[in-house]
Amino acid sequence: MSAAEMPVTHPPELRHRIMAGFAGNVIEWYDFALYGYLAGIIAPVFFPEHDRTAGLIATYGIFAAGFLMRPLGAAVFGWFGDRFGRARTMQISVTMMVLPTLLLGVLPSYETAGLLAPALLVLVRLLQGLSVGGEFSSSATYLVETAPAGERGLTGSWANIGSMTGSLLGVGAAALTTSLFAPETVADWAWRLPFFAGAILGASAILLRRNLHESRHFEEHDSGRSETSPLLEAFTTNRRETLLALAFAAGYGTCYYLAFVYLPEWLSRQGLMERATSLTINTAMTLLVIPLMPLFAIVGDRWVPRRTLIAISVLLLALVAWPLHEWMLLSGGSMTSVITAHLVAFTLLAVPLGSGPALFVELFPEEDRLSGYSVAFNLGMGVFGGLTPMIATALIAFSGLATAGALYLGAAALAAVLALLLMPDRSRSPLR
């Protein structure tokens, strides 16, 4: 099929593709945020009540196991997507997220099923972690590959818009449930309702992806595809691109988790602000980031090459991280200093959140694009980034320096900038 025959720029078709990519990421992060928020309520349901602390630790451990499954899911779905197409991969990955979400809502309790209950919980979370490893990179790749000319950054940004929206919906659904029902009712059965709601949302994502057409770039390369495993090619023929993507994802992921996840905990641990207040500020700033992502993506599409734009924003983040943390400490956690720190950090991070998907996709050739992107992103963002709160806490405890986390953020940001400088900028070139 020629490029002229592909309905790439027809508005209804474009909206359909964007919504299909957006919806899957909403479900992905809705569930992860929901599970993390309700972990303290879920723990007594699936583990013996005589040791609530052990149950909570186990519940969070299962949450972490879901993240550790992401690299495996990235390898599996990356290979599948490079071999059989991005559209098929997206349909499978979203189905594998929706089914466990529904199952989690109907799982038996420990009181009813004994050890079978936590065993089933583990299986459900592992399956979800596997699907998450393929969801984001598959949808981002599909969106960028099918984007209209000159709009790869803007179109790709919808993957992260979906992620942010899903996180906010997950937190909102959990907060709504705990406020509408008495604590005893929530612990008894009402905690299941948000998971049922997630399954309903997921069903809409499955329907949206049912009739997706394959990307033109995949079809053009399909007949001449090498017999070599695309996953192997990502670590041999295109090893440099994979390692640079991994280094950038690790540095950028560290910055993301320190700002979006760890900062409220840091403010609370330092006695600067009540955790509830800092979480409210964090949530409000996340709302701000959602419209900023496509705006910065447009800048990367039209005026400033996206690699340069991302490098500038991450470098600025490295330079302001320590002064902002020091200001919050010296001011005793004043509202002005905390809001300013959030505003600056979140605004700067909105740049890679918006333009990052297109940057990753442009880095790799079509033959192993999804494999290289998936593995590098999930190892960097999911594993290195996911360990960041624990590492920051350990650094503060070991050094006795309250701003050790800020110094760690600055070092990670500089590492990400170095990786960017070593990358080619293909934001104005056709996809390979």
Instruction: Verify that 251 and 153 share a domain, yes or no.
Output: no
Instruction: Verify that 182 and 241 share a domain, yes or no.
Output: no
Structural domain boundaries, residue 95: 1-225
Instruction: Verify that 41 and 190 share a domain, yes or no.
Output: yes
Q: What pLDDT is recorded for position 241?
A: 95
- Two tokens at 339? 């809001």
Neighbours of 171 (CB within 10 A): 19
Instruction: Verify that 166 and 184 share a domain, yes or no.
Output: yes
pLDDT band at 311 (very low <50, low <70, confident <90, very high): very high
Q: Are 416 and 381 in contact (CB under 8 A)?
A: no
Instruction: Verify that 25 and 47 share a domain, yes or no.
Output: yes
How far is Cα 60 from Cα 32, in angstroms, rounded to an integer? 11
Neighbours of 386 (CB within 10 A): 18
Q: What pLDDT is recorded for position 227?
A: 66
| CATH number, position 322 | 1.20.1250.20
Instruction: Verify that 264 and 352 share a domain, yes or no.
Output: yes
Instruction: Verify that 184 and 218 share a domain, yes or no.
Output: yes
Which of 81-90, 228-237, 289-298 is most confident?
A: 289-298
Instruction: Verify that 203 and 69 share a domain, yes or no.
Output: yes
Instruction: Verify that 299 and 182 share a domain, yes or no.
Output: no
pLDDT in tens, 227-255: 677 888 888 889 999 999 999 999 999 99
Instruction: Verify that 239 and 359 share a domain, yes or no.
Output: yes
By percentage, how much of the chain surpasses pLDDT 70? 90
Residue 137: closest CA among 1, 5, 231, 226: 231
What backbone phi and psi angles, to 5 degrees, belong to 76?
-65, -50
For 173, residues 6+ apart whose C-beta sits below 8 A from its C-beta are 30, 34, 194, 197, 198
Query: Which of 225, 258, 285 is at the close of a domain?
Result: 225
Query: Which of 225, 250, 275 is at the close of a domain?
Result: 225
Domain count, the chain: 2
pLDDT in tens, 6-51: 444 443 488 888 888 898 899 888 887 787 778 778 778 877 766 5
Query: Which of 225, 259, 280 is at the close of a domain?
Result: 225
Instruction: Verify that 207 and 311 share a domain, yes or no.
Output: no
Q: What pLDDT is recorded for position 8?
A: 44
Instruction: Verify that 1 and 44 share a domain, yes or no.
Output: yes
How far is Cα 19 from Cα 231, in angstroms, rounded to an integer? 28
Q: Are 255 and 412 in contact (CB under 8 A)?
A: yes
Q: What pLDDT is recorded for position 63?
A: 58
133 vs 333: which has the higher pLDDT: 333
Mean pLDDT along residues 117-142: 83
